[in-house]
Structure 1
Amino acid sequence: MASVVEVLTRLGGWATSAQLVQATSRRALAAAVRRGDVDRLARGIYAMPGLGADVAAALAYDGVVSHTSAAAAWRLPLLVVPEKPHVTLPVNRNARPGPPAVLHWGTIPSTDRSRRRTSLLSTVVGCARILPFGEALAVADAALATGELSRDRLIEAAAAMRGPGRPNAVQVAAAANGHSESFLESMLRSLLVTAGIDGFEPQVLVDTGCFRARVDLGNRRVRVALEAEGYEFHGSAGDFARDCRRYDELVAAGWLVLRFTYQQVMGDPEWVIRTVRDAVAQRVAIPTNG
C-alpha cells in the first residue's frame, strides 16, 4: 500500500480526505498529519507542506488562484507581487474561514477548477479589472506574446465583461500587442496610448539596406524611435561599442532616438509624454526624404 505522502505526490501535492482514505486508510492519514508529513488546509482538504501560499489558499477556500496571483503563476510580468493570494470563489458561495487572502467571486469553468487556477485569458481579464492601465497592458502584452492567447479572444472577452473594471479591460484589449518584449516597453507604450499619441508600433524593424536594427517603439512616418532602458547594463566594452554603433546608424539613417529609463517611465511620466510630443512635433515640421 502506498503511503499518504506518495499518494499526495502522485496527485500533484494535494487531495481530498476521500481520495487519501481510499488509497491508504484513515489511520494512515491521521498519523501523517500528526507527524507533520501532511498539512490539513481545510475540512476534507490535505496537502504536502510547502505547497505554496496561493494554491493553499485556493484549496482552503475551495476556489481558484486568480487575478495577479494567477498572473505570477503564469509567469506574466507584474510591477508588484501581491502580498496576499487572490482567490476567486464560485458565485453565491459564502466564504468559509481560511488563511489571509483577497477574495473575488465569479463563474469558474471546470478546467480552471481542476487545476485550481484561472485560465490565461481569465487571468488577463481579471488583472485588467484591478490593475492600472499600464500594468494591465504589460500583463496582456506578455500573455499574447506566449502565442497561447489571441488578441481577438481577448477583445471578445473584454467586451463581454460586466461590472467594475470593464472600461479599463476594453482599453487594454484594444491596445494589447504580442510584439512587446518587456514590462517597461509596455509601460512606455501605455503612456503614449493614455496621452493619445498615435503612430508608434512595438518592435519596428529599421532596414536601410546597409544595416538592420529593431527599436522598441517606432513611428515610421516621422522616424522617431523610443527605447525603454531597463536596469540592464553593458556587460563588456564590446556590448557598449555595439550599442553605440546601433544608435549612430539609426541617427545617420534619419531617425531621432529617445531613450527612457525605468525611473523616468515609472517616476516622471508627464515628462516622458511631453518629451515625445515635442520630438514628434519637431519632426513633423522637418521634411524627410522617403
Structure 2
Amino acid sequence: MASVVEVLVRLGGWSTAAELVQLTSRRALADAVRRGDVERLTRGTYGLPGLTKDVATAIAHDGVLSHLSAAEVWRLPLLDSPAKPHITLPTNRNARSGPPAVLHWADLSRTEVRKRRTSLERTVLDCARILPFGEALAVADAALATGRLTLDELAAAVLAMRGPGRPNALQVAAAATRLPDSFLESMLRSLLITAGVEGFEPQVVVELGGVRVRVDLGHRVALVALEAEGYEFHGSAVKFAADCRRYDDLVAAGWLVLRFTYQQVIGDPEWVVATVRSAVAQRIGVPTNG
C-alpha cells in the first residue's frame, strides 16, 4: 500500500481526509500528521508541508486559484504579482472566513476543482476581464505560445462570454497571436494597436544577403523595425556583439531600427508611440497625427 505522502504527491499535494483514508488508512493518516509529513490545511483537508501560500488560501476558502493567481501558476507573464490571491468559488457557495483573498464566483469544472486552478482558457478570459488591454494581450499571447490553447478556441470562448470585461476580451482575442517572443514585445504591440498605428507585424523575418534575421515588430512597407529590449536581453558579450551586427546589417539593408526598453514601454508609452509615428511618417508620409 502506498504511503500517505506518496498518495498526496500523486494527487497534486493535497486531498480530502476521506480520499486519503480510502487510499491508505485512518491510522496511516494520523501517523503522517503526527510525524509532520502531512499538514491539516482546513477541516477535512490535508496536504504536504510547504504548499504555496496561494494554494493553501484556495483550499482554505474551498475555491480555486483564478485570474492573476492562476496566470502565475500557468507561468503567464504579468506586469505585477497580485497583492492578494484571486480565488474563484462555485456560484452556489457562500464565502467563508479564511486568509485575505480577492473572491470571485463562477461555475467550475471538476478538473478545475481537483487541480485548484482555473483552466488555461478560463484564466486568459478572467485576466481579460480585469487587466488593461496591453497586460491582458500579453497573457493571451503567452497562453497561445504554449500550444495548449488555439486562437480559434480563444475566439469562441470570448464570443460566448457575458458580463464585465467582454469588450476588452473581444479586443484581446482579435489581436492575440502566438508569435511574440516576450511580455515586453506584447506590451509594445498593444501600444501601437491602441494608438491606431498600423502596419507592424510581430516576429517579421528579413532576408539579409542570404541570412534570415528576425525582428520583434516589423513594418514591411516603411522598413521600420521595433525591438523590445528587456533587462537581460543580451546576456553576454558574444550575444551583444551578434545583436549589434544584426542591427547594423538591418540598417545597411535600408531598415530603420528603433529599440525600446522596459522603462520606456511601461513608463513613457506616449513618447514610444510618438517616436514610432514620426519614424513611419518620415519613411512613407503617414501623417503623424494618425
When normalised by structure 1's length, the TM-score is 0.92
Q: Which deviates further from its counterpart, 10-19 or 245-254?
A: 10-19
3-state DSSP class of the match of 1:249? helix
The reply to whether residue 126 of structure 1 matches residue 126 of structure 2 is yes
Shift of 1:24: 4.1
Mapped to 1, the partners of 2:233 and 2:58 lie a distance apart of 40
Q: Aligned letter for 1:72?
A: E
Match of 1:279 in 2: 279
3-state DSSP class of the match of 1:5? helix
Does the 8 A contact of 1:42 with 1:98 survive in 2? no
Does the 8 A contact of 2:12 with 2:115 survive in 1? no
* CA deviation vs aligned residue, 1:203-250 (integer Å, no higher than 9, x gap): 001114443211000011111110001112544443333222211111
Count of aligned pairs: 286
Mapped to 1, the partners of 2:246 and 2:75 lie a distance apart of 31
Does the 8 A contact of 1:5 with 1:38 survive in 2? yes
Q: Aligned letter for 1:101?
A: A
How do 1:33-182 residues align onto structure 2 when only pairs under 5 Å count? Answer: 33-182=33-182
3-state DSSP class of the match of 1:144? helix
Q: Aligned letter for 1:180?
A: P
3-state DSSP class of the match of 1:155? helix
Shift of 1:254: 1.3
Q: Aligned letter for 2:275?
A: T
Q: Aligned letter for 2:135?
A: E
Q: Aligned letter for 1:192?
A: L
Percentage of matched positions with identical amino acids: 73
Match of 2:251 in 1: 251
Q: Which deviates further from its counterpart, 16-25 or 168-177?
A: 16-25
- Where do 5+ consecutive residues of structure 2 fail to align? none
Does the 8 A contact of 2:79 with 2:135 survive in 1? yes
Q: Which deviates further from its counterpart, 103-112 or 189-198?
A: 103-112
Q: Aligned letter for 2:179?
A: H
Does the 8 A contact of 1:5 with 1:37 survive in 2? yes
Inter-CA distance 201–93: structure 2 relative to 1 (3 Å threshold): same
Shift of 1:70: 1.0
When normalised by structure 2's length, the TM-score is 0.92
Mapped to 1, the partners of 2:116 and 2:156 lie a distance apart of 24
Mapped to 2, the partners of 1:251 and 1:25 lie a distance apart of 71
3-state DSSP class of the match of 2:12? coil
Mapped to 1, the partners of 2:235 and 2:80 lie a distance apart of 27
Q: Aligned letter for 2:20?
A: L
Mapped to 1, the partners of 2:7 and 2:242 lie a distance apart of 55
* CA deviation vs aligned residue, 1:46-88 (integer Å, no higher than 9, x gap): 1111111222222222221111111111111111122322111
Mapped to 2, the partners of 1:150 and 1:185 lie a distance apart of 20
Q: Aligned letter for 2:86?
A: H
3-state DSSP class of the match of 2:135? helix
Mapped to 1, the partners of 2:77 and 2:18 lie a distance apart of 38
3-state DSSP class of the match of 1:18? helix
Does the 8 A contact of 1:58 with 1:64 survive in 2? yes
Q: Which deviates further from its counterpart, 125-134 or 201-210?
A: 201-210
Shift of 1:13: 1.7
Mapped to 2, the partners of 1:192 and 1:105 lie a distance apart of 34
3-state DSSP class of the match of 1:227? strand
Mapped to 2, the partners of 1:117 and 1:240 lie a distance apart of 40
- Where do 5+ consecutive residues of structure 1 fail to align? none
Match of 1:223 in 2: 223
Inter-CA distance 150–23: structure 2 relative to 1 (3 Å threshold): closer
Mapped to 2, the partners of 1:189 and 1:90 lie a distance apart of 36
How do 1:170-249 residues align onto structure 2 when only pairs under 5 Å count? Answer: 170-232=170-232, 234-249=234-249
Mapped to 1, the partners of 2:7 and 2:247 lie a distance apart of 58
Does the 8 A contact of 1:137 with 1:187 survive in 2? yes
Q: Aligned letter for 1:163?
A: G
Match of 1:264 in 2: 264
* CA deviation vs aligned residue, 1:94-117 (integer Å, no higher than 9, x gap): 012222221111111222222221
